[in-house]
Amino acid sequence: MSPVARYRRLLTIAGPRYVLVAFLGRLPLAMGQMGTLLLVAGATGSYGRGGAAAGGLAVAGAVGAPVAGALADRVGQRPVVLVQSLLGGTGLLVLVALTRGGAPFGAVLVAAVLAGLTMPQVGPLARVRWRPMTRAEGRHQPRLLETAFSYEGAADEASFVLGPALVGVVAVLVDPGAAVGLAGLLLLGFGSAFALHPTAALAHAHRPAAARGGRILSGAFAVLLGAQLLMGVVFGSVQAGTTALTTAAGQAGLAGVVHATLGVGSVLAGLAIAAVPERVGVPTRVLVAACGLAVLSAPLLVVGSVAGLFVVVLVLGLVVAPYMISVFVLGERAVHAARVGTAMTLLASVTGVGYAVGSGTAGLLADLHGHTGAFVVTVGAGVGAALLATAGRPLLRALPPGRGADGGQAPAGSTLSTSPG
């Protein structure tokens, strides 16, 4: 089955409505941080307070996501995501109301934290649903599942391009409060629709009998967590370095556009990874993509113009989605089937932690050494990813290549296996 045929088959299995709901349901997460920054900074006249509110929302989201993922593994996605969507959407609307009403900053900060704590991670939870959705596909299931993860990786990247862009457009045409309010309404509507979609019940219906069985942390999963942490550092440091360079060039308004270019290249590569032959095992893909991060980030140390930065960031994006998609595929295999929701949300959360570390560290170095200092963090994270992928490859190769029909780990010799490569 060709990559195009696999994508068509996935669309047939899930239905266009599910694809639309799952994509729009993840936009609020991509809109929340920037929207909160602009909203609070504009209302208080302080970028420090705006950054604190946005950071509080992001950190709270990183803390709350794995807890919600574990709960969804236990009781099902439908009640968990529905409550999160209602509380998170309402929280964003309350944040707008408090900010516009001139409430004390402490109250605004608490509202931001509570909104972040309750926002659902739609992308990671959508990945969990694909295995039961493709259950009837027999020998085609492993390849279809990898293709579904490729799509989900591209969809995540697209949301983090479209989300901030949508915030910017609404903020210019109306005001930042309208942008955050729109995120809240999208979460109330499409987050709830994602929760109530029949695939949520399907995922829970096919969970293994030992719903609480299996541990999360293992050597292989620790490698994957480290991989996503470093990916987050790349994201945060690229944004800091891009902001420093464009500001120094007198074109600060282009910072968001340049950073979005990283996502454009990533989306294209994410969709194309479905064409990689089966014989190229997923651990090998992680290693190749990690080495790509190290090599393709190096030109950031010598780039000196906004035009050159556009090109370097676009090319760097071509290895981002393949790296993350491969990590998430292995993350799904590294844990018991009953803990996949927890694993997916943990991987997403640690990416956010890495983003905060990368942004903060690169920002400090940018103050001292300009954009080159910030990009040293990017290159360091790329090199670290390559070293981690090399050192951790034996652990990743030892993971079972797929699961049996009952959702448990398939033996290494299973006929549904892909190359362990």
Q: What is the pLDDT of residue 402?
A: 59
Compute the C-alpha angle 117/71/109, nearest 5°. 5
Helix 340-397 and helix 219-248: axis angle, to 10°?
100
Tell me the CA distances in angstroms from 382 to 117, 145, 313, 348, one per residue in order: 30, 27, 13, 18
Compute the Cα dihedral for 346, 150, 192, 264 and give only its sign. Answer: positive
Give the end-to-end CA distance of the chain in Å, rounded to a whole number. Answer: 21
Cα distance between residue 11 and residue 20, in whole Å: 11
Q: What is the pLDDT of residue 415?
A: 29
Compute the C-alpha angle 85/39/191, nearest 5°. 15
Tell me the CA distances in angstroms from 123 to 128, 194, 410, 418, one per residue in order: 9, 11, 25, 24
Tokens of 335: 């844990």
For residue 403, list its beta bridge partners.
Answer: 409
State which fold the 216-412+416-420 domain adopts.
Growth Hormone; Chain: A; (1.20.1250)
377, 165, 385: which is closest to 294 by C-alpha? Answer: 385
Give alpha helix (H) positions in 120-175.
122-133, 141-173
State which residues of the chain have pLDDT below 50: 209-211, 404-421
Q: How much of the chain is in helix, strand and coil states, percent to nearest 5?
A: 85, 0, 15
114, 133, 141: which is closest to 22 by C-alpha? Answer: 133
Check if the beta carbon of residue 50 is closer than 8 Å to that of residue 180: no
Q: What is the pLDDT of residue 375?
A: 95
For residue 409, list its beta bridge partners.
Answer: 403
pTM exceeds 0.85: no
Superfamily classification of domain 1-207: MFS general substrate transporter like domains (1.20.1250.20)
Q: What is the pLDDT of residue 409?
A: 46
Q: What is the pLDDT of residue 146?
A: 86
The domain segmentation of the chain, as residue ranges, is 1-207, 216-412+416-420
